[in-house]
Amino acid sequence: MEPFITIDAHSFVLPLMQGFVGQREFTVATTEGHRPTRLDNPQESSEGRIVDETHETQAPGLDKRKFLLTLISRRSVKRPGLRYLRRGVDDEGNTANSVETEQILSDPDWDPVRNVYSHLQVRGSIPLYFSQSPYTFKPVPVLHHSPETNQLAFDRHFRNLSRKYGKIQAVSLIDKHAGEKKLGEQYEKYAQAMNQSGGIDGTQLGLEWFDFHNECRGMRFENVSRLVNSLESTLNEYSDTVVHNNTVIRGQTGIVRTNCMDCLDRTGVAQCAFGQWALERELKQEGINIDLGGDSSTQWFNTLWADNGDAISKQYSSTAALKGDYTRTRKRDYRGALNDLGLTLTRYFNNIVNDYFSQACIDYMLGNVSTQVFKEFATEMQTADPGISVQKLRQNAIDTSCRIVISEQSEEFLGGWTMLTPRQPNTLRTLPFEEAVLLLTDAAIYSCRFDWSIDKVLSFERIDLRSVTRINYGTYITSILTDTQTDQRGNVGLVIEYREGDANALRVNTRSLQSNVDTKTLDSNAPSSNEWDVYSWFKGTPHSTTRFIAFKALPLSNSVTQTRKSSITVSETDWVRSVCEEIERAMKTGEAQRPESNDQKEGAPSIIEASDIISLDDAKKRTGIFEHLVYDIKKLVWA
């Protein structure tokens, strides 16, 4: 559609919206002869009640006025996806399950002489990097990345909101105890830091932490009125938008942003309460005092908001919203609790089975990834988050590793790369492979095991360049279960052979004073396995002092980079060969600076060899029935 939009050929573009649209016409009976009040004097009003014209005849002394209430929810296409697969914020400040809800009060015929009122609310996930495992009923949120990275995304999110809506009052409904407490405290911490640094263009961000489950314990969800009452002055300040004779005579100056963990069930109840407050206020400005909470004839209002909550919930969690019985009837009993239990079990099944492939389809349909996403899904049974820049994460890991592991100031940093490496050192195929950081200085090679969730180095091995004896690069097939894994051009790696010595070191982040680890001890503690424990082209005794470390290149292109029109022309083989040449060049430069080695090293052959590390035939021989069985079960469950 982009070419048509660019040339303003809008007749060829069909706008689509995901969310909810609902309408209800209602009649309010007031004292006969009463006229609407001015907007600046809403105190002049009369008591009114909503009537059902299908059953009630015209009563003497009553004046009936008709209204139309429209509820529209618009789901954002930024950071789209399903419940546990899209949480928190992305690099651009977009949050998961972001929905704008507009409540419009108007004349049924949209008569421009009568006022049209519009009240906006938004919901969205907590704007921090966090995730939750779908494999437990009450997963504890896990925060990711550094405080600086989180603060940057946090600030960007609220500045984006402010540019669109004005002032912001954030409302958090998560628990102040147990698993949700830590995330709520971080939310407060980053909000305070933002306000201390000047807020949003000089305006303070409001944050109200309302512990929904504690305040409404015992199924007393009507206690959410305490939240509305506490924010009444803010709501009055933000007001709403009023249109008269097709002219905006008043604009909404701010917005309430509500969230819980899923931004579904608790958020739906709270937004319904804010919507009720807005409707009562707007009717009062029309000269009608009415209590929507105590009037039994306003059941349709609750139903409208409950339908809205169900629609949003189905789009994010594949089930209707919990607590829907209260939203519809303003009552809560054991039947509603049992219904919520059934919905929870359905959500649990969808979260761990159906959502992974659905997420890949959503990303593809919205143009965030290419068709390669389905190849990635066939390999991993899940896909990467296109809203998180993998390139930025990997570069940050390289920078962090440099600061921590290169302790000698005399060492010059030459290059850094992220690659896959076997789980156990001195092996070629111990699964699962881990993404590690490879650093090169003018004196050593560093292999760093990295914790990507908290941006910390777990351990690193330092290999002195003088101890390196051979570098081999070539085909590195570690699995034959999918076509992508058997592609010999895309599965390439390198192996560095080196001699043990005092100049080499292995350090582990034990969070104690002792960090040195003996490589022999590490090898002896490794689980026994017949999977490629011996590198066949290394000759020596069982007690040889020669060791090796293996790295496998990550795919240079993926489903996300393809949609961004990246100009990647180099192959994985060429890229790996360039890394090997960088290492050899650093070794030769170091040797040239040692006068005693010039005569004996001049004209020495290259230590780089091109040969298969694990060929396709060897990989087929080593892949057992059990691996095939496990993969087939995964396909049966997730594909």
Q: How far apart are CA 51 and CA 29, in angstroms?
A: 7
371 — pLDDT class (breaks 50, 70, 90): confident
387-432 per-position pLDDT tens digit? 788 888 889 899 999 998 988 778 899 999 999 999 988 899 888 8
DSSP 327: H
Secondary structure tally for the chain: helices H, strands E = 19, 23
478-500 per-position pLDDT tens digit? 988 888 888 889 899 999 999 98
pLDDT at 28 (0 to 100): 86
pLDDT at 156 (0 to 100): 97
CB–CB of 346/319 below 8 Å?
Answer: yes
CB–CB of 255/293 below 8 Å?
Answer: no
pLDDT at 343 (0 to 100): 77
178 — pLDDT class (breaks 50, 70, 90): confident
Least Cα distance to 392 among 97, 76, 144 occurs for 144
CB–CB of 49/91 below 8 Å?
Answer: no
pLDDT at 532 (0 to 100): 45
Q: Is pLDDT of 221 > 50?
A: yes
pTM of the model: 0.77
Q: Which residue has the higher pLDDT, 335 or 45?
A: 335
Residue 329, both tokens: 């009837």
14 — pLDDT class (breaks 50, 70, 90): confident
Q: Average pLDDT, stretch 309-321?
A: 86
- What domains does the chain contain, in order, with CATH numbers? 2-44+66-362 (no CATH), 390-638 (2.30.29.30)
530 — pLDDT class (breaks 50, 70, 90): very low
How many CA atoms are closer than 13 Å to the CA of 94, on its beta-carbon side?
17
Instruction: For residue 214, count CB atoms less than 10 angstroms from its CB and return exposed for 0-12, middle for 13-18, buried for 19 or more.
Output: exposed
572-628 per-position pLDDT tens digit? 999 999 999 999 999 998 876 666 555 555 567 889 999 999 999 998 887 778 777
pLDDT at 529 (0 to 100): 46
Tracing tokens 């389809």 back to the chain, one arrives at 361
Of the chain, the end-to-end C-alpha distance in Å amounts to 30
User: Whats the size of the chain, residue-wise?
Assistant: 639
Q: 365-373 long-range CB contacts below 8 Å, 24 or more apart?
A: 366/77, 366/80, 367/563, 368/80, 368/560, 368/563, 369/559, 369/560, 369/562, 369/563, 370/559, 370/560, 370/562, 370/563, 371/559, 372/557, 372/558, 372/559, 372/562, 373/559
Q: Is pLDDT of 63 > 90?
A: no
Q: What b/e sequence results for 120-146 when a residue is b if at least 16 CB atoms lie within 10 Å of its CB, and e otherwise?
A: bbbbbbbbbbbbbebeeeeeebebbbe
pLDDT at 535 (0 to 100): 45
252-275 per-position pLDDT tens digit? 999 999 999 999 999 999 999 999
Least Cα distance to 336 among 224, 219, 174, 175 occurs for 219
pLDDT at 19 (0 to 100): 94
Does residue 139 have a cis peptide bond before it, meaning omega lies within 30 degrees of 0?
A: no
Q: Would you tell me how many other CB atoms lie within 10 Å of the CB of residue 510?
A: 12
Q: Average pLDDT, stretch 443-471?
A: 90
pLDDT at 538 (0 to 100): 47
CB–CB of 444/566 below 8 Å?
Answer: no
